[in-house]
Each structure stands twice: as C-alpha cells, then as structure tokens.
A and B are shown apart, each in its own frame.
Chain A
Amino acid sequence: MNFDFTEAEQAFADEVRRFLRANPPETFAVDGMDAGYGSGANSRAFMRALGAQGWLSMCWPKSLGGREQPMFMKLVLMEELALAGAPFGPLAGVWQTADAIIELGTGRLRREVLPAIARGETAFWQGYSEPDAGSDLLALKTEARRDGDDYVIRGHKIWSSHAGIATHGLVFARTSREARRSRGFSMFVVANSTPGMDIRPIRSMTGEVYHHEVFLDDVRVPADLMLGPPGEGFQALLNGLDADRFWGRFYKAPALARVLRQLVDYANTTRVGGAPLAHDPSVRRRLAAIAADIAALRLVFYRAGCLIRDGAPLTYETAMAKVYADETGQKLARLAMDLLGIWGPLREGSRWAKLGGHISHLYQTTLGHTIAGGTAEILRTSVAVRGLGLPAEPRAAVESKAR
C-alpha cells in the first residue's frame, strides 16, 4: 500500500501548479457554461494553452507525437486543474476521443484529428441520446446508410453538451438491421462544419446554454470517419460510457474540496446572531462530515484509477464512483445553500451575491449530474448486476450480454 504520488507524479503536480501561477485560470476567455462537474467552463484559449504545454498528448505513443507518459499523469493534471478552478471543460471528452482514435481509429482519423486534439483545437459533443432513447440507448432511431464510400446519417440527437461550440460530434447510429439488438450500431466522428447538420441550443434552468439538440438531415460522412469496426459501435459506446464515468467525474472530488474551502472561509468570516457561523455546532459537524465524504470520494476514484492503470478488471467501480461523486456534489450544494441562507439564490454578478454567486449555479447544475451519462438508477442497477452478481432484470440483461 502506498498513498503518495511517485516522485515523477509529484514533480509534475508542481509543474502544473507553477503553470497555473504563471497563467491564472481567470485570465482565460470563456466560451461556454460551467456545467458544475468540476472541470470549469469551456475555454478554447485554456485548451490551447494545455496543448502548447504538450499535456493533451503526453500519454500518446511517440509515433503519434506523444511522450508516452503513464496514465496517472492525467489524473495528476486534472486534480491540480480542478483544485485551481481552471476552465478545462472539454478535457475529459477530448482525451477519451483521442484514446478511442488511437485504439480503433482509421489512418485518416489519426492523421486529421489527432494533431488538432494535441494542439487543443478540438472539442467533441456526444451524439448518443435521442428524444425516445435516454437510458434505453438501444431504442435509438438515427440511421447511417451506406452510399458508395460514404455513410449518410439521418436522425435527431439531443442533450449533446456544448455541441454549439465544439468542433466534432461523436454520432452513434444504426448501420444495419441485425437480429441481435445490440449489434448493428456504429460510431462516427463528424465535423460540425459538415453540411446537413442543424445544431440548436437548449436553454437550461440556469438561464444559459449547455445542451443542444442536433438534427442530422442526410449528413454525408466518409466511411473512414467511422470509429471502430462497423456494427460494433455499441460495445465502443459502452466502453466510452464506462470511461466517461471515470474520466468525466475524476475531478469532482478536488473541485468539491475547493468549494468546501470557500465555505469554511465563509463560515469563519460570517457572523450570524452575533457569533461566527463557524461556531455553530451543526455547521461544524455538517462541514466536517462532507469533508469526510470528499476525502472518501477522492480515494474511491484513485482506487479505480489504480485498477485502470494496472489493467485489473473493473465491474462496478466506475459506476459506483460516478453515483457517489454526483450525490456528494448535490449534498455539498445543498449544504452550501443552507449556509448562505437568503443570500444563496443570488446569481453571479448580482448585488449582494456571496461567494461570487457561484453557489446558486452549483445548486442548479448538480441536479443534472445524477441524470447525465447514466442515471443514478441505471448505474446502481449496474453495480448490483455486474458488481455483485444479482440477477438482471430483462433490460439489464441486454447490456450485460453485450459485454
């Protein structure tokens, strides 16, 4: 057992901290809403800065322009960025896409997309959900029809995050009508500039735009922009969702630790009824209890990270970790709203807003986290069926058979 970073990991953490001191996160222009996951807002400028450091491609093979750094360096980077509140919104999605292209991608995807990823010039939206296919992805209707050297995609995607400001979509579509429900799906990497795509914003309850719906009206995509073998897209999707649970939530614990620090400062400096809030026993206890949750959450993710690093089989770990991350985030947001009381609902920029008005934003955005990327219900079922071996209900049986 060892709970320290290696010397190299620690040295890299120090390097990232120096970079953030020299390039304060708040000085980067922001292009898209902070969805509260812990990776901050979408900032093209910040992603390009990460690219310039060589950090986006640091774990890739040398033959593809990488430096073959161990996967743990990515965890170190994300933790430091989240602790500093940096705007690295697209990072996890970018890395996942890069990994999929390195593993499964055609020569063309490697040539055309990877260098742009390394420079920090790309961001990807997920074209998975459809109006009638949410938790039940196999019910999706979008079709990609083969036509010569191309596929022609027709369908309607929804809940695609930052699709309006991203560069490419990962579009999941049916490519054949096979008897087995989980076969016959394929994944495509589609540039936003491709003719036939209509990307429309959906205004969220926060008043900003995060999600989009995308209408694909005979969008023509060369066959070599398919990611992975034809008809095997569902497995690729499940792997992607599995990875998403881990990479898309890894930074939540450090991000929540950052919010907790702000709440501790607030409790120390705010007097209620003549005494500092920090002297209220129930405030002390609730803040301490959530500190324990955040510490546990961090370890749960690092444990899963170790299993991934060591190539050990994962069954329930990422699903469990995601639910825990999202519910801990909601718990902290609730606690923060309670502490702020009447000041809590004031928005960023409002007169009299406390803690920058960020808490009201956090409270709203965290509501979506137990829904996006696999609902807490789907994931609990997955923990029970795949992790504990409890008998699957009919729908869960399809997913576990596909594995």
Chain B
Amino acid sequence: MDFRLSPAQQILTTTARAFLRQHCPPELVQRLALDERGFDEALWRRMAELGWPGLMIPSDLGGSDGTLLDVILLVEEMGRAGLPGPFVTSAVVATSLVLAAGSPAQHKRMLPTLAAGERIASLALVEESGSFEPASVGLACAVAGRLSGRKLFVKDAHVADDLVVAVRIGAALSLLVVPTDRPGIARLPLDAISGEKLFEVTFDRVEVRPDDLLGRVGDGAALLPPALRAGALARTAEMVGGAQRVLELVVEHAKTRVQGGRPIGGYQAIQHACADLVRDVDAARALLYAAAWKDAEGRAAEADAALAKAYAADACLAVARRGHQIFGAISYCEEHPLHLLHKRIQAASLDFGDAQLHLETVARAIGLEGRL
C-alpha cells in the first residue's frame, strides 16, 4: 500500500498549484462568479497550453495519455483554487464518452480539438425529474428525425461547441453529439448561488443526423455509468480541494486573529473545530484516491466512487459551514473567498448524483436487499 503521488503526479500537482495561484486568484474567481458569462478565455487557452484538457486523451490524438487518477489530482488543485468553468464536463465527462464510444471519424474530428481546448463539450443528461440516473432519461428521438424537448442543469452550455445528449431511441438509451449551433437549440441560463453557469437547453424540432449517434443505438446504458463515475470522482476532487483550501484559510485566520489578548486558535473551542476539519479533509481525500486508483486500474469501482462522493459531500460541506463559524462575520461578506468555496462544494456535492443517490449504491453494495 502506498498513498504517495508518483514523481510525475507530484510535478502535475505542483505545477497546477503554482499556475492557478498566479492565474486564478480569488479576485478572478469572484469576478467570474458575478459575471454573467463567467468564462475566462485567456485562462482556458493557457490551461490548454499546459495540456490539461487533453490529459485523458491518447497521445496519438493530441492528448497526453493520463489516467483518471491524474485527472483527479489536477481537479483537486482546481477545486482548491475555486477555478470555474467547463473542465470537468468537457475534459472529463464528455471527453471520456467520445473516447469510449466515438467512431474513428468522430475521434478524429473531436478529440484533437478537445485536447487542444479549441472545442468544448458538455453533457445534457438531467431532465425534469432532477435525477442523474440514466434510467430516468425520457427525451425521445428517432434517428434521422427531429429532437424536441428539454434538458436541465447543463453546465457551461453557453461556451460549449457540442452537447452529448442522452436520449431514448425507441426504448433504448442512446447518446448523440449535437453541435450547439444547430438550428432549434436554445440555452436558457439558470441562476444558482454557486455562480456556476447552468442552463436549461431546449430542442425545438432540432435535426438529428445518423452520424450524430455516439456508439450504437442503446449503448447509452453501458456508456453513461463509467462517464458519470468519472464526473462524480472529478467533482469529489473539487470538493476535497475546496475543503483543503477552507482548512488552510481557517487555520491562517485562527493563528492571526487576536481576541481577548491571544489568537483565537489558542482557544480549545477553535482548536477542536479545526481538528475535525483535518479529519474531514483527510478522510474524504483517502476515499477519493482509493476509488480513483481502483477505477484507473480498470477494476470495478462503482461502490468505491459512490462511497467517496457521498462521504465528501457530507464532510466537505461540514468543513465549509464550520469555516464560516470560525471566521465569524467577515466570511459573510461577498468579498471574502469562503462563500464561493462553500457554494462550489455545494454545487459539486449535487452534480453527478447527490449523497442520497450514491448512498443507495453503497446500500446495495454492502448487501442490503431491496431497492428503493
């Protein structure tokens, strides 16, 4: 057993941390959260120059042959910095779907541009049920026909060039890749406290061509679970990184904020709260790494990923809430970085399945009979 990062992984994380400290300071995170578009093209291009969007893509298609574990380590740093944007939905989820199911033509057309950050893709899955379970997809489409209906909570749809859309062809769950500029597609912003850019995407008799199909008809049921697991783990990494940052900010504050003649970190009430934050972050990170490692090794990791995400949702949100209490009034201000980290953790805890959904997966894995 070994919890240490490989030398290459250490380089990846230290490079990422230094880069994000310089190019994604809290002021930028704040500005992007308040900005309607909230997407920094220059920053995205710089990230692309570092090869980040192509981390999961094979080198012969313009990527750098990374594993899901590498991606998780990178996204943890992004979470630490509070970096907003389409990285997870595009470079992790949509990219892994195209990788897994794309035809040679689709690979050639999409992967080099995704790797170079020149194209952005997002996943359109959730409908009015609010569920991330593939079984709940109802949007109907006939091949070479027309698509009408809507998807909700589509992340960064406004900057996406393509949408991977989960649909029913007959009864068969299937995936389409549809460019966002196709006539009949409209993107309507949702307004969430996190500042993340979420959209309702409506399809009004949108033309669907045979070569829009990703994989074969009915492949969606097999393709979606691993991609959603990658998304869930990436969002877990964001939570862990965010909670780590909250812990660092809180400890710094506890050492320097003087009340009653001494730093508040000298009082046991604060010390004990901080000790719990360390446990929450360490334990969440351990589960995350173990699940991502197992997934990257090609082993069955469904229960591990579910466990990691459910645990992190609870633990990292507890870190954020406790962080507010330790910081006191100043953390209630918009200009203070804590609330954005908090809301990002909140958003990540819900994306790709909330704790309730993942705990049900765990419940089955530990042998509880029946399914709700």
Contacts and interface: CB of A to CB of B under 8 A. Distances in A.
Main secondary structure of the interface of A (DSSP, over half): helix
Contacts of A4: 1
A299 interface: yes
B366 A287 contact: yes
Interface in A272-302: 276, 278-279, 281, 283-285, 287-289, 291-293, 295-297, 299-300, 302
Interface in B251-298: 251, 254-255, 262-263, 265-268, 270-272, 274-276, 278-279, 282-284, 286-287, 289-290, 293-294
Contacts of A264: 366-368
Interface in B349-370: 356, 359-360, 362-363, 365-370
B360 A284 contact: yes
Give the most central of A278, A285, A388, A393: most B CB within 10 Å: A388
A323 interface: yes
Nearest to A376: B272
B294 A292 contact: no
Contacts of A287: 363, 366, 368
Q: What is the size category of the interface that chain B forms with chain A?
A: 35 or more
A281 B307 CA distance: 17
Interface string A167-201: 00000000000000000000000000000000000
B311 interface: yes
A22 interface: no
Contact of B3 (A289, A306, A391): A306
B22 interface: no
A352 interface: no
A377 interface: yes
B6 A1 contact: yes
A268 B310 CA distance: 23
Interface in A287-337: 287-289, 291-293, 295-297, 299-300, 302-303, 305-306, 316, 320, 323-324
Contacts of B219: none
Nearest to A1: B293
B344 to A, nearest CB: 22
B355 to A, nearest CB: 8
A389 interface: yes
A63 interface: no
Interface in B41-96: 69
Contact of A1 (B69, B270, B366): B69
Nearest to A307: B3
A144 interface: no
Given A284-B363, A299-B287, A320-B282, A377 B268 contact: yes
Given A385-B271, A393-B266, A299 B290 contact: yes
A295 B272 CA distance: 23
Contact of A324 (B279, B289, B368): B279
B310 A1 contact: no
Nearest to A391: B266
A398 B282 CA distance: 27
Contacts of B286: 296, 299-300, 303
Contacts of A261: 366-367
A300 B281 CA distance: 11
Given A296-B287, A380-B271, A388-B274, A267 B2 contact: no
Interface in A361-391: 377, 379-381, 383-385, 387-391
Contacts of B310: 288-289, 292
B2 A268 contact: no
Nearest to A305: B1
A384 B270 CA distance: 9
A268 B278 contact: no
Nearest to A283: B368
A377 B372 CA distance: 40
A330 to B, nearest CB: 15
Contacts of A289: 310, 314, 359, 362
B286 to A, nearest CB: 4
Contacts of A295: 287, 307, 311
A250 to B, nearest CB: 13
Contacts of B356: 285
A276 B371 CA distance: 12
Nearest to A275: B370
Given A300-B286, A389-B251, A391-B266, A288 B360 contact: yes
A387 B275 CA distance: 9
A101 interface: no
Contact of A297 (B265, B283, B365, B366): B283
Contacts of B262: 391
| Chain B CB within 10 A, most for which of A72, A377, A390, A391 | A390
Given A287-B363, A316-B275, 14 more contacts: A267-B368, A283-B368, A289-B359, A292-B311, A293-B311, A295-B287, A295-B311, A296-B284, A296-B287, A383-B271, A388-B275, A390-B255, A390-B263, A390-B266
A303 B302 CA distance: 22
Report, nearest first, the 8 A-B pairs whose CB atoms are least far apart. Answer: A384-B271, A299-B286, A390-B265, A383-B275, A288-B362, A296-B283, A380-B275, A288-B359
Contact of B366 (A72, A260, A385): A260
Contacts of B283: 296-297, 299-300, 324
